[in-house]
Amino acid sequence: MKNKIIKYIDLFCGIGGFRVAIERVSKRYGLKSKCVFSSDIDKECQRAYQANFGETPFGDIKMINENKIPYHDLLMAGFPCQPFSIIGNGKGFEDIRGTLFFEIARILKAKKPRAFLLENVKQLKGHQKGYTLERIMETLRSLGYYCDYKILNALEFGLPQKRERIFIVGFLENVPFYWPNGGKPMKPLTQILEKNVSKKHFVSDYVRKKRLAKKNSNLSPSIWHENKAGHIGIYPFSCALRANASHNYLLVDGIRRLTPREMMRLQGFPDSFKIVCAYGQTRKQAGNAVPVPVVEVVLAQIFDALEITPRHIAHREPRNNSNLKILEVSK
């Protein structure tokens, strides 16, 4: 595949985390990649995507004729997670958003890209005692794909954010795919947090004193996390960013909210990424985004499996029997 342009589509693209990742990987390994189609129904996400990539994603994927989507080598999608999330109502396929997975299946059936990469919340694995994920995997295998999944934590890939997400990969050929091992040192919060933060991000004296009354700590910098039960955790990293959590869900040193740039950094977006939406929308976008460095390492392994990666830099992850995935396909 020397000098070949890797064509991909970016479904439920949000603000473009998958695209940032694939552009980074392509550049790092001297490859060429091109997005031939992107889609997201959220107007504010479309606005952010356009500002950063120069194109506006198509809207509702249900209204897109799959035959009009360009052929591509790779399909990427962070399909809506609310139906499977502990924060959502957990209805899964009973929720109309849950059926959006089948829009991905519809496109895979029509276009048969060589590979795909999907992302969702880790709760998908145990949803309805595993039935939901089993149905997803059966659907993908019935389309002729060899598939596998794994839960990866952004903390293991350099980000100071405990963010566990399930990733699903699939290939038309039974290639040797190896999940990345992680173990990368965590970037300290000092490299994430901004200085001279505006007063508008600081909580009221009432909220600050209420937090301090529950718990106090000398750990700084730290991010204070309040769970749904009201318990406070204090860590040298962030708990997972969430789109619909309370405004005081995460507080830096217990006294202020994260800034838009800090939220983007926690997801691995570069400082060159343009933030063009209001605070509330940016907070929602960051909470729904994929952790870019995790997507990068998975994509690198996909490229390796497809023998796209130049030979002299292939097999970056140690290859051993415990990490080898034998992917199955329905007969």
List pLDDT tens digits, range 113-122. Answer: 999 999 999 9
* Closest to 208 measured CA to CA, from 190, 187, 232, 229: 232
Which residues form the catalytic set? Answer: 81
Whether the predicted pLDDT of 289 surpasses 80: yes
20-46, pLDDT tens digit by residue? 999 999 999 999 999 999 999 999 999
Q: Within 13 Å and on the Cβ side, how many CA atoms surround 13?
A: 34
* Closest to 40 measured CA to CA, from 220, 241, 285: 285
SS3 of the chain: CCCCEEEEEEECCCCCHHHHHHHHHHHHCCCEEEEEEEECCCHHHHHHHHHHHCCCCECCHHHCCHHHCCCCCEEEECCCCHHHCCCCCCCHHHCHHHHHHHHHHHHHHHHCCCEEEEEEEHHHCCHHHHHHHHHHHHHHHHCCCEEEEEEEEHHHECCCEECEEEEEEEECCCCCEECCCCCECCCCHHHCCCCCCCHHHECCHHHHHHHHHHCCCCCCCCEEEECCCCCEEEECCEECCCCCCCCCCEEECCCECCCHHHHHHHCCCCCCCCCCCCHHHHHHHHHHCCCHHHHHHHHHHHHHHCCCCCHHHCCCCCCCCCCEECCECCC
The CA-atom distances, in angstroms, between 35 and each of 14, 141, 269, 321 are 14, 25, 18, 34
What's the mean pLDDT when you consider all of the chain?
88
pLDDT at 82 (0 to 100) = 52
Instruction: Give the pLDDT band of residue 80 (cuts 50, 70, 90).
Output: confident
Domain 5-186+289-325, architecture per CATH = 3-Layer(aba) Sandwich (3.40)
pLDDT at 192 (0 to 100) = 98
User: Can you tell me the mean pLDDT for 85-111?
Assistant: 69
Hey, where are the domains in the chain?
Answer: 5-186+289-325, 195-258
The Cα–Cα gap between 257 and 201 comes to 5
Return the higher-pLDDT residue of 301 and 79: 301
**244, two tokens:** 């619909």
pLDDT at 90 (0 to 100) = 46
Question: Is there a contact between 167 and 150 (Cβ–Cβ < 8 Å)?
Answer: yes
Min mean pLDDT across 74-88, 164-178, 220-234, 251-265 is at 74-88
Whether the predicted pLDDT of 79 surpasses 70: yes
Strand order in the sheet with 5-11: 32-39, 5-11, 74-77, 115-121, 164-171, 146-153
Instruction: Give the pLDDT band of residue 97 (cuts 50, 70, 90).
Output: very low
pLDDT at 320 (0 to 100) = 45
